[in-house]
Amino acid sequence: MRILFLGDVMGRAGRTAVADRLPSLRADWKLDAVVVNGENASSGRGLNGNQARALLEAGADVVTLGDHAFDQRDMMQVIEQEPRILRPINYAKSAPGRGWRIYEIAGRRLLVAQVLGQVFMSRTYDDPFSAIDQVLAAHPLGRAVDACLIDIHCEATSEKMAMGHFCDGRASVVVGTHTHVPTADACLLPKGTAFQSDAGMCGDYDSVIGMEKTEPMRRFITGMTRDRFEPAGGEATLCGLFVETDDTTGRAIRVAQVRQGGRLAQAGPEA
C-alpha cells in the first residue's frame, strides 16, 4: 500500500498548495491513500467545515486535527457528520468525533489514529501511550488491519521518538506533527514501522513557522505585542512522508521524505 502523509496545512497558502498539487501527486506516485493534517488550515487556528471539504475534494482520504481541533466552532458539528475527519484520541472524553477509525481504501483496511502528546503542551491530555496501546492491541497489524498510520501531534521530539519505538512493529507509520518544521530522521525502525519526528508544514517557509514574520520577530526582539499573527501568503512547500507497506504484514518497506514546491529543497519517493 502506498501512503502519503502531509503535515500541518497552514492557512490559505497551504490549502492552495494541497489543492494544486495533491491530485497530480496521487497519480504520479500511484498513491493508495492520503492522510492530511489540517489543523492550522483556517488562518493557523483550526479547521472549518468548508476548508475540510476542500481538502477531501483535493484528494485527502482522511484529515486529522490536533490541539486546535475545535478552534473553529462549526467543527463541533462537522466532525460528527464526516467520518473522514479525526480529532486526537486522548482529547476530552466529552469531545465530539472520534480519534481513530478503520477505512476501506483501495481494497485494504487502513487504521488511522491521532494522539496528542503531553510534554510542553499548553494543557494536560490523557496518557497518549495507553490510548494508542488500546487501539493497537485490539487491531493487530497484518490481521485485523492491512496498514496503520498514527499521527502524534506534540512539541517534543523525544516524546515522538518514544511513541515510534512504542509502536514499532504494531503500526505501519508513526509520524509527528505540530512543530511545522520537517525533521531529517525519516527511517524504518527495527521492527518495520516507518517513522519521522515531524513531517513539517504545508505552508510558506519564508515565515516563522507559517506566520508572517514581522510580528513574531518583534515579539522575540522587543518582548512587546503590537499586531495579531497572520499566516504568510507566499508559495507553500508541501511537506510530508511517503510510505510503502507490505500487503501481507502491514509493515513498512520503503519511506521517503516529501518536499514539493516552495522554498525548500525538493524531495519525494523515487519512481
- Give the pLDDT confidence score for residue 245 in this predicted structure: 98
Contact status, residue 134 vs residue 126, Cβ threshold 8 Å: no
DSSP-derived letter for residue 222 is H
Domain boundaries, the chain: 2-260
- Average pLDDT (7-26) is 97
- Give the pLDDT confidence score for residue 76 in this predicted structure: 95
Output the nine-digit C-alpha cell for 10. Answer: 497552514
Helix (H) or strand (E) holding 149: strand 147-153
**121 has a pLDDT exceeding 90:** no
Q: Which residues are catalytic?
A: 68
CB atoms within 10 A of CB 190: 9
Give dist(CA 111, CA 151) in Å, integer.
Answer: 11
pLDDT per position as a tens digit, 236-254? 999 999 999 999 999 999 9
Quote the longest CA-to-CA distance of the chain. 57
DSSP-derived letter for residue 225 is -
Dihedral, CA of residue 70, residue 174, residue 7 and residue 43, to nearest 10: 20
Gap between the terminal Cα atoms of the chain: 15
Cα 264 to Cα 199, 203, 231, 235, 240: the distances in Å are 13, 11, 18, 11, 12
Angle at 93 between CA 87 and CA 98, to 5 degrees: 30
pLDDT per position as a tens digit, 177-213? 999 999 999 999 999 999 999 999 999 999 999 999 9
**271 has a pLDDT exceeding 80:** no
User: CATH homologous superfamily of domain 2-260?
Assistant: Metallo-dependent phosphatases (3.60.21.10)
